[in-house]
Structure 1
Amino acid sequence: MIRHAILIVDDEPNMRESLYDILSDYGFCCDIAENGEHALQLLQQNEYSLVISDIKMPKVHGFALLKTVKERFPKTSLLLMTAFATISQAVDAIKSGAEDYITKPFDPDDLINTINRILACKADEEKSIGMSNKKTDRPSAIIGQNRKITEIYSLIKTVAPTNASVLIQGESGTGKELVADALHANSTRSNKPFIKVNCAAIPANLLESELFGHVKGAFTGAIKDKKGKFELANSGTIYLDEIGDMEISLQAKILRVLQQKEFSPVGSEDVTKTDVRIIAATNKDLHDAMNNNVFREDLYYRLNVINIVLPPLRERNDDIPLLVKHFINKISSALGKNITGISDEVMSKLMAYEWPGNIRELENVIERSIILAKHEIVETIDLPEQFHEDVTVLSSENDSFRLAKSEFEKKLLEDALQKSNGSVTRAARLLGISRHSLRYQMEKCGLRKDA
């Protein structure tokens, strides 16, 4: 576990000591400075993950310290402390680059939660995917040479610098979050906040407050104002994972942000303007969701300016050797084990397997095998139970069935489009399905409107 170094800057001795005691109790390494000038001296001598600074101080005040930290120590995050009367100043400071602010007096739990969030965002940024490979221009954490993946590399490179909304679709475990990371890391907002929200993991009655914040007294338990994720993500990017699980009543408020660049916190009529890029992801068929009136059509088209569809691992199993090599190097190092590879028999079994859990399942299988391996090479005995059966015949039969099914569906769509002279509306009527479903099936089969 990394012990982060934090520099506390405050001209009040009691506040310095209180912060030092709280942070030390939570395992942080702390230094203290009595003013901004002293802080700059310590910053030149030591490396800090975070600086917590008061705004009003003699000599070098908080704003001046913020400016210097951002210019000379760009890897160091900064959290400002302010009295209630100067919150507007703190908001301006955040726009200038501070990660967040807390008001005095503060609750210790709120302080620790804020620090952990800042440090987690910092860790995510350090791990973010960059187009660092100049020969291939590929995001380094997205592994693969399959044609579909290569096309996605190219699309990320083209789309990332724009402000266009992106909808990422794919089964669970296919790497949707990695694509979102790559889009933000290679955008013009890469040095701004990147806030991630799993819409399925937060209870529906709390999600609105989580996204848009609330004011004191908005509901039982709202004992003070709270900023939402959209406000925290201002000038940066917000990633809405599993957006297909969001209740339709809340979808209207997401649409308002996309259309009007504004929102209102829960319990308030005040309007907050925001400049944020939205990247959304789902493993659901949103066309079916729209047909069932559980997903708004207008929101779908606002989100789906750019659509990235990630293939399941079973459709890119030629990438399995590369993924296996990557996971072995990563996991062996983390576990302190000297595993150099896998046997040919193990590779054959991995290549033949269906991978319902996709890349996430593959990583879990490799991790388990490395833990159990008694030699430098992973053997069949180290694999989970499902690999101890002969899956080759079953996989071959499944492949044949999928291929025949795919060809039949494509021929059916082609015939309907031909009979309707290319009219999607009439073709959908012939097939007895909606236009949304037909368009989805056409995309899936690689058919253009003029097919």
Structure 2
Amino acid sequence: MRINDFTILVVDDEIEYQNTMSIILGSKGYRVLTASSGNEAIETIKDNDVDLVITDLKMPGLSGIELVKRTRCLNSDINIIIVTAYGTIESAVEAIKLGADSYFVKSDDPQNLISAVGQLAKIKELSNENRILKENFARQDAFLESKSKAFKKVLDVCDKAAETNINVLLLGESGVGKEVVANYIHVNSSRCNNHFVPVNCQSFSSGLIESELFGHEKGAFTGASGKRIGRFEEAHSGTIFLDEIGDLPLDTQSKLLRTIENRTIERLGSNKRIELDFRIISATNKNIEELISTGDFREDLFYRINTLTLTIPPLRERREDIPGLIDFFVKKIEKEQKKPIKRIDDDVLDKLYNYDYPGNVRELKNLLERLITLSENGIITFDKSDGYLPINFNTHLIKSDGLREARKAFEKEYIEGALKLNKYNISKTANQIKISDRQLWNKISELEIEIVKK
């Protein structure tokens, strides 16, 4: 966390005190907001990411004590310091009981208050770093412990890339684990104490993707009720991962190119430039050069994002990793579902080992989730999943007319099974397979899936 990312809201009905504190705290590098009443403070908290509230105790309207209560309800992570000219032990005790972190009298040396603010900012910074590290390491999946020579070679190059700040482009089929590889580079880089921010460019409409990436100011468009920082600001000093970058609209590509070149962004509704430090890792399962030839992707942007290009092998080319992945996912899923698994039948394991997985690691995980969901008495068998899974894994691909048709056949069977499992509830099914309702409806139409009305 940068010191100017630590936002302080000073609440006092005395304008002179507001100004004085703004100057003192601003000189220390903090971002300072002000409010003249408790009600105004509440609205400011709703519209901004506030880290600390410094509030007077005695104010007309909503008192400092009431403001503490309301702030705690809005966001329990906000620190609160009470400052007042009316210092009584009773008031201090009440404020602390309600959740205030400190209590100061205005006539005291302001340096004590400044020191308290510095301590709270440091604690917040350490807390953020600890949380970020936990989040980043939690993304490291078992398939990084690979026995495959091809995949080990990819990881070796990732180790070298992590020592630099170059932009990396990851290529590979859907489901091979491009996000995990991107996070591996981040965790092993000097940026590991800061955010790894994944963005699926395919998940947002052309009207929303720019707000998602660059943020917006209040009133920038219909529905923008408050300021919102974008993913690039969130990734300051860290790494932003742009998944499915080949799906970015051309006008957004132009803005992205400027952002990479200038290392600045402008929120929607503002012309103020914000300087940022970030690393970009991009990924796609599309042929970018083909998109360039058809005019759907900017060539100059392509050269900016692919200083280093890595192709991640599909699961069928690292078959020696399948047993380890099955073991990892089964343990993870049974813990999540609170459903212990005693045994997987040999015929199930045999087919899981030999299937070609057009959906790669993601498909393997989803198949295991479904098998565990449908298992009885802790035993996984195919006969308990009849109608929900493609049974003949070994010949499934051979009967298909090429990889594209195989993937299409898998998607249809997979979505049909998920729909059936969720009793044809669109929202529940979309949530389970981790796509939007709109994307699911598109797939249903594209794959000609019949919806059974219950």
TM-score higher than 0.5: yes
Counterparts of 1:140 and 1:339, CA distance in 2 = 19
Contact persistence 1:144–1:323 (CA under 8 A): no
Tell me whether 1:371 sits opposite 2:373 in the alignment: yes
Structure 2 unpaired stretches of 5+:
1-50, 56-63, 84-99, 104-109, 404-454
Aligned residues: 323
Relative to structure 1, is the Cα distance of residues 323 and 204 closer, same or farther in structure 2, using a 3 angstrom cutoff?
Answer: same
Counterparts of 1:286 and 1:255, CA distance in 2 = 16
Counterparts of 1:173 and 1:325, CA distance in 2 = 18
Task: State the partner residue of 2:293.
Answer: 291
Contact persistence 2:333–2:369 (CA under 8 A): yes
Structure 1 unpaired stretches of 5+:
1-6, 37-50, 78-96, 100-118, 130-138, 403-451
Match of 1:66 among 121, 124, 135: 121
- The letter of the residue matching 1:294 is D
Tell me whether 1:273 sits opposite 2:284 in the alignment: no
- The letter of the residue matching 2:68 is R
Counterparts of 1:320 and 1:181, CA distance in 2 = 21
Task: State the partner residue of 1:226.
Answer: 228
Task: State the partner residue of 1:18.
Answer: 70
- The letter of the residue matching 1:64 is Q
Correspondence 1:11-410 to 2 at 5 A:
12-23=64-75, 34=81, 58=113, 60-68=115-123, 70=125, 74=126, 76-77=127-128, 124-129=135-140, 142-383=144-385, 385=387, 389-393=391-395, 395=397
Write the deviation string for residues 28-62 of structure 1: whole angstroms up to 9, x where unpaired: 7x8987569xxxxxxxxxxxxxx9999x9836432
Task: State the partner residue of 1:107.
Answer: none
Cα drift, residue 341 of structure 1? 4.1
Cα drift, residue 213 of structure 1? 2.3
Cα drift, residue 255 of structure 1? 1.3
Cα drift, residue 297 of structure 1? 1.0
- After TM superposition, the structure 1 stretch with the greater mean CA deviation from structure 2, 61-70 or 339-348, is 61-70
- The letter of the residue matching 2:296 is V
Contact persistence 1:328–1:340 (CA under 8 A): no
Counterparts of 1:221 and 1:144, CA distance in 2 = 47
Write the deviation string for residues 116-159 of structure 1: whole angstroms up to 9, x where unpaired: xxx7x676235143xxxxxxxxx756243112211122122111
Identity among equivalent positions (%) equals 35
Cα drift, residue 240 of structure 1? 1.0
Counterparts of 2:119 and 2:341, CA distance in 1 = 51
- The letter of the residue matching 2:216 is H
Counterparts of 1:267 and 1:31, CA distance in 2 = 27
Counterparts of 1:215 and 1:166, CA distance in 2 = 31
- The letter of the residue matching 1:243 is I
Relative to structure 1, is the Cα distance of residues 53 and 216 closer, same or farther in structure 2, using a 3 angstrom cutoff?
Answer: farther
Write the deviation string for residues 372-413 of structure 1: whole angstroms up to 9, x where unpaired: 2224442232455476644435556889x88xxxxxxxxxxx
Task: State the partner residue of 1:90.
Answer: none
Counterparts of 1:317 and 1:53, CA distance in 2 = 59
Cα drift, residue 198 of structure 1? 1.5
Contact persistence 1:262–1:274 (CA under 8 A): yes
Relative to structure 1, is the Cα distance of residues 340 and 251 closer, same or farther in structure 2, using a 3 angstrom cutoff?
Answer: same
- The letter of the residue matching 2:71 is L
Relative to structure 1, is the Cα distance of residues 205 and 191 closer, same or farther in structure 2, using a 3 angstrom cutoff?
Answer: same
Contact persistence 2:137–2:187 (CA under 8 A): no
Counterparts of 1:394 and 1:196, CA distance in 2 = 33
- The letter of the residue matching 2:121 is L
Counterparts of 2:176 and 2:186, CA distance in 1 = 18
Cα drift, residue 232 of structure 1? 2.3
DSSP-derived class of the 2:310 partner: strand
Cα drift, residue 277 of structure 1? 0.4
Write the deviation string for residues 240-267 of structure 1: whole angstroms up to 9, x where unpaired: 1111110111111111222222232323
Relative to structure 1, is the Cα distance of residues 256 and 367 closer, same or farther in structure 2, using a 3 angstrom cutoff?
Answer: same
Counterparts of 1:127 and 1:231, CA distance in 2 = 22
Q: TM-score, normalised by structure 2?
A: 0.62
Contact persistence 1:352–1:395 (CA under 8 A): no
Relative to structure 1, is the Cα distance of residues 198 and 248 closer, same or farther in structure 2, using a 3 angstrom cutoff?
Answer: same
Q: TM-score, normalised by structure 1?
A: 0.63
Contact persistence 1:380–1:388 (CA under 8 A): no
Cα drift, residue 21 of structure 1? 3.0
Cα drift, residue 15 of structure 1? 2.5
